[in-house]
């Protein structure tokens, strides 16, 4: 996976690198209290941390919930509240839209900032992974267990959730 960050720095990640980072994130999420079946909001653009977050969720039995970085506060609040997401991974843009809503999202326990996303109560992605083990034993999930939660656009009414299993 070839990546370029906001500052123009490039990196290349092998499958091994992705696996080790996902393992570290799975440990970090578990340490924050995330459990099997919990919804983890991934409000990130296309970047390495997005792929890492998906892998981490699937291997720990959590439910990945990708949300568009283009969503404004109202759209984010609806989906975050409806899903009862316990953790959100955000970049600078999505943090600015999510941060004012935190008090209205009782299930949301932690916000993890990626890249330059910083607030006083935000967990730093790199710091969380720094000391976590690169080895993680994936949970034994059934093909029918929830893995992914997506939402319809909501153009003809309120957005509807669509829960997808690991088999998808």
Alpha-carbon distance 127 to 151, whole Å? Answer: 31
Q: Output the CA angle 108-42-14, nearest 5 degrees.
A: 135
Q: Give me the residues paired with residue 140 across strands.
A: none
Alpha-carbon distance 150 to 159, whole Å? Answer: 10
Alpha-carbon distance 47 to 24, whole Å? Answer: 17
Task: Kindly indicate the confidence band of residue 147, based on its pLDDT and cuts at 50, 70 and 90.
Answer: very high
Tell me the pLDDT tens digit for each residue of 79-112: 999 999 999 999 988 999 999 999 999 999 999 9
Output the CA–CA distances (angstroms, integers) from residue 145 to 32, 66, 96, 133, 162, in the order listed.
Answer: 22, 17, 33, 26, 13
Q: Would you call 150 helix, strand, or coil by DSSP?
A: strand
Q: Output the CA angle 167-56-134, nearest 5 degrees.
A: 135
The confidence score (pLDDT) of residue 29 equals 98
Predicted TM-score (pTM) of the model is: 0.94
Over residues 149-163, the mean pLDDT reads 90
Over residues 119-123, the mean pLDDT reads 84
Percentage of the chain with pLDDT > 70? 100
Is 112 exposed, middle or buried, given 0-12, 13-18 or 19+ CB atoms closer than 10 A? buried
Q: Considering the chain, what is the average pLDDT of its residues?
A: 94
Q: Give me the residues paired with residue 90 across strands.
A: 43, 113
Task: Kindly indicate the confidence band of residue 156, based on its pLDDT and cuts at 50, 70 and 90.
Answer: confident
116: pLDDT strictly greater than 90: no
């Amino acid at each position: 996976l070839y990546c370029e960050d906001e500052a123009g720095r490039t990196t290349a990640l092998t499958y091994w690198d992705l696996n080790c980072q996902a393992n570290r994130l799975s440990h970090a999420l578990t340490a924050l209290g995330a459990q099997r079946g919990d919804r983890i909001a991934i409000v990130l653009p296309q970047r390495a941390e997005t792929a890492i977050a998906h892998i981490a969720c699937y291997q720990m039995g959590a439910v990945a919930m990708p949300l568009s970085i283009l969503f404004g506060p109202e759209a984010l609040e609806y989906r975050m509240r409806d899903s009862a997401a316990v953790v959100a991974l955000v970049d600078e843009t999505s943090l600015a839209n999510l941060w004012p809503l935190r008090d209205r999202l009782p299930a949301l326990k932690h916000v993890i900032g990626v890249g330059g996303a910083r607030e006083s109560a935000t967990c730093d992605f790199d710091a969380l992974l720094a000391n976590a083990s690169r080895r993680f034993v994936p949970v034994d999930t059934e093909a029918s267990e929830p893995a992914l939660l997506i939402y319809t656009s909501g153009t003809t009414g309120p957005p509807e959730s669509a829960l997808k299993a690991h088999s998808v």
